Amino acid sequence: MDEVQFLSMSYEQVVRKYKKTIGSVCVMRLKNWADAEDCFQNTFLKLYKNPPDFSDEEHLKAWLIRVAINECNRYIRKNRFHLSLDDIRDEGIDFPEESCDMSWALMELEPKYREVLYLHYCEVYQINEIAQILNKSPNTIKTLLRRGREKLRKIYGGDGI
C-alpha cells in the first residue's frame, strides 16, 4: 500500500504530532486508561482508513478531536458499566505525585465541562472553534466554560482559574 499523506505529513508523523492531544481528550472523557487507549486507536484507525480532505493542520486537529470525542461517547453508550480512575483511587491505589496537577481536578468534573475546559485551556481553542468541534453554539460554550470554571474552583480551590 502507498504511504498515506496528510498535508505533507505521513500517517506516522500525524500520530506522533497529535498523540498527546488525542490521548488527553480520551482520558479526560473516559477517566479510564485502557478504554481511552481503545478510543485513541480507533480514532487514528479511522484517519488511516477513510481520511477526509483537510484544508489545513487546524482542520486535521479539530477533526481528530471530534472523532476522538465521538469514539468515547460511542464507547460509553456501549459499555455503561466500566471501571473509572475514581473507582481505582477509592480502592486505595496511590498515583505518583507528579500526576496530581490540575488535570486531576478536571477529572472530577462532568464530561461536558471537562471537554470544554480542556479544549480551551490545554489545546488553546477559542470559543467559536470549540463550538464548531463540539457542534454547539458559542453561547452554550461560554456558559459551559463559566460553569465549569466555577465547579473547578470548588474542587481545586483558588481564584486563578
Q: Are residues 64 and 6 in the same domain?
A: yes
Q: What is the pLDDT of residue 105?
A: 72
Looking at the fold, whether 5 and 59 belong to one and the same domain comes out as yes
Only one residue has cell 461536558, namely: 112
Q: Are residues 87 and 107 in the same domain?
A: no
pLDDT at 98: 38
How many domains in the chain?
A: 2
Are the C-beta atoms of 37 and 46 separated by less than 8 Å?
Answer: no
Cα 134 from Cα 119, distance rounded (Å): 10
- Residue 121: all three cell numbers together: 485551556
- Residue closest to 66 by CA, chosen among 56, 58, 78, 55: 58
pLDDT in tens, 7-37: 889 999 999 999 999 999 999 888 888 889 9
Q: What is the CATH number of the domain that holds 108?
A: 1.10.10.10
Say what the pLDDT of residue 8 is.
Answer: 86
What per-residue confidence (pLDDT) applies to 67? 97
Per-residue model confidence (pLDDT) at position 47: 95
For the chain, residues with pLDDT lower than 70 are: 1-4, 80-104, 156-161
pLDDT score of 1:
43
Domain boundary residue among 65, 94, 123?
94
Give the three-class secondary structure for 44: helix
User: How confident is the model at residue 17, as a pLDDT?
Assistant: 95
Domain hosting residue 107, numbered range: 101-161
Shared domain for 27 and 86, answered yes or no, is yes
Residue where a domain terminates, one of 52, 70, 94: 94
Answer yes or no: do 83 and 153 share one domain: no
Task: Please give the pLDDT value at position 96.
Answer: 38
Residues 27, 36 contacting (CB under 8 angstroms): yes
Is the domain of 26 the same as that of 89? Answer: yes
Q: How confident is the model at residue 68, as a pLDDT?
A: 96
Are residues 142 and 66 both part of a single domain?
no
- 80 and 1 co-located in one domain: yes
Q: Are residues 60 and 130 in the same domain?
A: no
Structure-block grid coordinates of residue 7: 498535508
Looking at the structure, do residues 82 and 105 belong to the same domain, yes or no? Answer: no
